[in-house]
Each structure stands twice: as structure tokens, then as C-alpha cells.
Structure 1
Amino acid sequence: MAPVTAPDISGNADSQPRRSALVTGASRGIGYEIARRLAGQGCELTISARRRDGLLEAVDKLRSEFGVNVHPVVANLANDADVAEVVNAHEGRYGALDLLVLNAGVGAAGTVAELSVKHYDLVLNVNLRSQFLLVQKALPMLRKAAATRPSSGARVVALASITGVAAEAGLSAYGASKAALISLCETLSLEEAANGVSATAISPGFVATDMTAQMDKTVDVDSMLRASDVAELVVALSHLSAKAVVPNIVISRAGPAIWRA
């Protein structure tokens, strides 16, 4: 799907361009909070989401609050053409990419015995295949940014899940997709560290968002992590030097269990 037309309001007269980030699934929840924190750091953004109205509302709020350039792209990451369009839109606007945040994803509850192949395919397609394609297509821009700023390099941050580290019954395909995403980040760092590019998976327990609101009868919303907790870690990772490679960050909810979703 085509990018939404948006004026360039960066107003950056410096000889070296501002850092830029691409954040998927950024119209609400964790993705929006990440985009908001990055905008607060002066980062120029490309943000994507499936729903046009929510995406444009997010863009308006980010521009109004921070005055940075925010480029919206309506995209369904289950579609390969949309995946390519997100990357192409960022390249056309900024040329290089300092930070790729893979936040978009889908969930599907179901045991190994019961989950349909249709739901399995959707989860693996969006949560893993599209993430692989986004990284693959964005690598030339990430390498370019890293060459421009060798001390800081470029980074990929992928929103995985604690279920990718410690399995949870009923989340067979979802947990498998997130475990694979963690492995993808580790492999990317091994292959691209020499080019100044590294990747980190963030694996949180339940985060209080619209997606988890339906779980209020089984999990106390007040006990859940906050989107701001995840966003703070993304910002911190963006400040690290290229020498620092962080494979995976697990964030558990407070409680007696070591791994608590």
C-alpha cells in the first residue's frame, strides 16, 4: 500500500542528518510509546500500521508534541509488497536508517493439538517471516548509517516475548515465533557486527495495552508491565556504542516466579 503523503517538517540544517528510525505497529500501544520516546530524542521517524486513521492520528500527536519529521506508511505486514513499501518509503525520505524497531505482530491462542494451520501460518508469517524480510531489505540502509556514525553503529530492536524464552501452554505458535525472532537477532549480530550493525530482542511479560485488555479476567492489569518500560529500553539501546551487543532483554512482571509472563 502506498505511503500517506506527508510534508517534510524536519527543518534540519546541520551538515550531518539527524538519526532516523523506522517503527512498525506504531499507531498505538508499545509501538506508539517507542515512537514517542524516540521523537522526544529528536529522531526522525517512519512509522507504519495497518489502519490509516489510527496511524494519521499518531502522526499528528507526534508532530504536535515534538515537531520532528514523521513519515506514515499504511501497511499490512502479512503482505510482502507492503513490507517492501515500508522500507522503500523510509529510504526515499531519509536515505539511511539508524534504528529499525520490529514491533508489529499478531497473537493466536491455541495448543499444539488444537491450533489450526491457518492461524499457525498467520502468526509465523507476521511475527517471523515479515520481520526477516524487513531486516533483509533494510540492511543496506543500516550499514550506511553505521558507516556514517561508526562509534554508535546501527541497531535492530525486535519486540519478542517472554514466551519465547519460557514456554507457556496455549501459546504454541506465538511462543515459537518469538523464540525464532530471538534467534534471528542473535544471528544478525554475529553476521553484521563487522558492518557496525547489531540486533537486540526485548522479551517482556504481559504489557498493559489494548491487546491485553481482554485478559483482565485472568491477569490483573495493574500487575502488567507498562509500554513506557519497553520504550525506555529501546531508547537506552539506541544510546549504546557499536561495541555493545545485547542479544536479548527479558522483562518479567514483579512476583515470585523467575519467568512470569
Structure 2
Amino acid sequence: MFNLQGKVALVTGSSRGIGKAIALRFAENGVNMVVNYIRHRRDAEETAALIEERGARCLVVKANVANDEDVASMFELIDKEYGRLDFLVSNAASGVLKPVLELTSRHWNWAMDINARALLTLAQHAVPLMRDGGKIMAVSSLGSVRAVENYTAVGASKAALESLVRHLAVELGPIGIKVNTISAGAVDTEALKKFPNRTQILDTALARTPLGVLTTPEDVADVALFLCSDLAKMIHGQTIVVDGGYSIRA
């Protein structure tokens, strides 16, 4: 069903959280990995060890995805190590949680660079290594279409990310590269711990989710795996929401 043996994937921000779950799910299905991190080296090395335990190869690369030189260097290492890339998952994210009137241009640019512009740079470097076609995915959030308290800069950057995915899909589809977004609901990761109202967010999400359970990193990873398979060959340019039905509630 998932014949991915020997494929190569880069998952940005894969030392922890959703990115780690995706990397491990890929490795379990025979995909050789590139684990990218910027701050948490020990976590990245632990993720790499888990990948290798699953029988896959792993290259660990420290790179700031908002820095063009870092991205270029990372892809040079990928080309040297593997000579190809089949799957790119733009997962690394950051941002500042502030009210609209307290946002500065620095806050805005930081969120846009890491959460949206990074995908453009990553795709520009990835496509030449996807000689036989490939899959590009971006991880977004419901804040792209919903107003979340203090989430303005991040939410706007995620909306930009989803728009970029659609444009990439139109341009890259003819050369055999499929591009999609995975939009996750409230997932209890290290990133969510930065929210001062984390408990309220999780409690509200649980109460409003028809399935009665919260989305996990592994749930998101399962969708990423599916999108990399031939079963998803006609899913292109879409935003796949993984939230247990939370977003359909009025």
C-alpha cells in the first residue's frame, strides 16, 4: 500500500513535535530521512537514533529555514548524501504571540519568513533533486482561516503559506510534483506550551471536537504518509484538515 522503500525525505523542524512524528512514520515505511533543526540539537540526534532503529538512514542538518544560505548549504549536503529528494515537508514554524497593535515589522517579518517564505526557498532547491517527480507538503494550522487571540502574525503567515501551496501546485504539477497542505487542529506539542492560554485552547478544542479526542502528532503524520503514497495520486493543491471535525462546528 505504501511502497516508499528507498525514498528520501526532508522534514524541516523535525527534532520534536509534529515534524518528529512525520519523520518517524516515514522511516517506519522505508524512507531515508533528513532531520532538520535550528535550536534543539539533542532532540534532533535522538530523533535520528529512532529513525535508524527503524532501519532507515538519517542525515541531521542544522539550518535556519529563513536563511537562504543555510537552506542552500542544507541541500548541498542532501545532494551529497543521497543524490535525490522525493518528499519535502515544510513543517518548521515560529512566531510572536502579541495583540495586533503591539506587533512590529520585525515580528511580522519573522513569522512570514519562517512560516511562508521558507517554503518558496525550500521548493526552489528541492525541485532540481526531484528528477522523477515528488511530493511537497506544508504544515499549517486552523489559524490561517480563524481569528485566534494574539495569533495575528502567525495566522497571516499560515494563510500565505496555504496560498503559496496552491500556486506551487499549478506550476509544479506538470513536472510530476504534487503539492498539498496539512492543516492541523489543536495539537498538544512543545509549541503549544508557549501559549499562555494553552489549557483553555485544549479544553475548548476537546469540547468542540465531534470525535471527542484531540489531534495528535501521529494523526498528522499518518496523513503525510498517505499524501506520499500512490493512493493520493489525484490530491493536489489542497488543504487537508486534520482536526477530528473541530472546524465544522458553528
Q: TM-score, structure 1 length as denominator?
A: 0.83
Q: Indicate yes or no: 2:238 matched with 1:247.
A: yes
Match of 1:32 in 2: 20
Kept after mapping to 2: 8 A contact 1:21/1:97: yes
Q: Indicate yes or no: 2:44 matched with 1:62.
A: no
Aligned-partner Cα distance in 2 for 1:74–1:230: 23
Percent identical pairs in the alignment equals 32
Query: Which stretch of the first structure deviates more once superposed, 20-29 or 238-247?
Result: 238-247
Aligned-partner Cα distance in 1 for 2:90–2:150: 24
After TM superposition, list the pairs within 5 Å mapping 1:148-187 onto structure 2. Answer: 154-187=134-167
Q: Indicate yes or no: 2:219 matched with 1:237.
A: no
Which digits, 9 at most, give the CA deviation of each residue in 1:92-151, with x for residues without a partner?
Answer: 111221110001010321232221222111111111122210111111112x032xxxxx
Residue 167 of structure 1 aligns to a residue in which SS? coil
1:197 to 177, 181, 186: 177
Kept after mapping to 1: 8 A contact 2:186/2:202: no
Match of 2:132 in 1: 145
**Letter matched to residue 248 of structure 1:** T
Unaligned runs of 5+ in 2: 207-213
Q: Indicate yes or no: 2:218 matched with 1:228.
A: yes
Match of 2:30 in 1: 42
1:83 to 44, 66, 71: 71
Match of 1:118 in 2: 106
Residue 218 of structure 1 aligns to a residue in which SS? helix
Match of 2:89 in 1: 101
Kept after mapping to 1: 8 A contact 2:165/2:181: yes
Aligned-partner Cα distance in 1 for 2:87–2:151: 29
Kept after mapping to 2: 8 A contact 1:186/1:247: yes
RMSD: 2.1
Residue 220 of structure 1 aligns to a residue in which SS? helix
Count of matched residue positions in the alignment of Structure 1 and Structure 2: 235
Greater percentage in helix: 2
Residue 101 of structure 1 aligns to a residue in which SS? strand
Are the structure 2 counterparts of residues 165 and 216 from structure 1 closer, same or farther at C-alpha, using a change threshold of 3 Å?
closer
Are the structure 2 counterparts of residues 93 and 116 from structure 1 closer, same or farther at C-alpha, using a change threshold of 3 Å?
same
Shift of residue 213, structure 1, vs aligned partner: 2.8
Residue 203 of structure 1 aligns to a residue in which SS? strand
Kept after mapping to 2: 8 A contact 1:55/1:74: no
Shift of residue 166, structure 1, vs aligned partner: 2.6
Q: TM-score, structure 2 length as denominator?
A: 0.87
Aligned-partner Cα distance in 2 for 1:220–1:140: 41
